[in-house]
Each structure stands twice: as C-alpha cells, then as structure tokens.
C-alpha cells in the first residue's frame, strides 16, 4: 500500500483487510447497522438463509464479504459442501484486471 502526498493507491488486500473489514468490526457511530456490508459464512448456510436484509437496498438484493474455505490447509481446492447441499461454480472464471492491466485475481462466474 502506498500512502504519500496526494496519492492513495491501496492494493486489494490492504483495501479489504484494513479498511473494509475494520469498518465491519468497528463501525463508526451514527451509521445504521443494516447499512454496513456484513461478513457471512456462506458455506455454513443453505441458500434461503443467505439474504441479508437492508433498508438501503432493493428487495432481493444483498451484498456480503465471504472467506473461501479450503478443502485442506495446503490445498488450492475450495470446500463447497454445506448442510443443504453443495455449491457449484456457475459460469467461467474471469480475470479481474488492475488499472495497469496486470492480472490481479480470478473471479468465479
């Protein structure tokens, strides 16, 4: 992360880890609780339990942070089994480019 002068260009890890997750865990006073994007353990819930209700979003729309559990500690495979079934990757994997067009991170479709 680079902070100097008037330029502020955090990388994704710094932006998510330092700024957004700390806002979730320690929200500033005066911000309604349903305005904050929660961190949800998607893989421990069935789909009907996933909707996060907010008065600031249209009905049927919700956002959350998700940590990807791994099948084993040193494995690159995702653990997709839940109480109600299995999560399946839908669509093709796409790369999310950074401003300088380098490959930053994959996104599952």
- The two beta strands, 7-9 and 2-4, are antiparallel
In this predicted structure, what is the pLDDT of residue 108?
46
pLDDT of 11 reads 72
* Res 27: pLDDT: 65
pTM of the predicted model over 0.85 = no
At residue 43, the pLDDT reads 72
Question: What are the phi and psi torsion angles at 20 (to 5°)?
Answer: -70, -45
pLDDT for 109: 42
Backbone angles phi, psi at 56, to 5 degrees: -95, -5
Sequence spans of domains, the chain:
2-107
Q: What is the pLDDT along the chain (109 residues), one digit of tens a residue?
A: 555 455 556 677 776 666 666 666 766 676 666 566 667 777 777 766 766 666 666 676 666 677 766 666 666 666 666 666 776 666 666 665 655 655 555 544 4
């Amino acid at each position: 992360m680079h902070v100097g002068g008037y330029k502020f260009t955090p990388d994704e890890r710094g932006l998510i880890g330092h700024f957004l997750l700390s806002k979730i865990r320690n929200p500033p006073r005066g911000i309604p609780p349903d305005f904050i994007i929660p961190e949800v353990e998607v893989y421990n819930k069935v789909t009907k339990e996933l909707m996060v209700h907010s008065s600031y979003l249209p009905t049927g729309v919700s956002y959350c942070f998700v940590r990807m559990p791994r099948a084993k500690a040193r494995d690159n495979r995702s653990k997709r089994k839940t109480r109600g079934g299995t999560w399946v990757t839908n669509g093709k994997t796409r790369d999310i480019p950074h401003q300088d067009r380098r490959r930053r991170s994959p996104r599952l479709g």
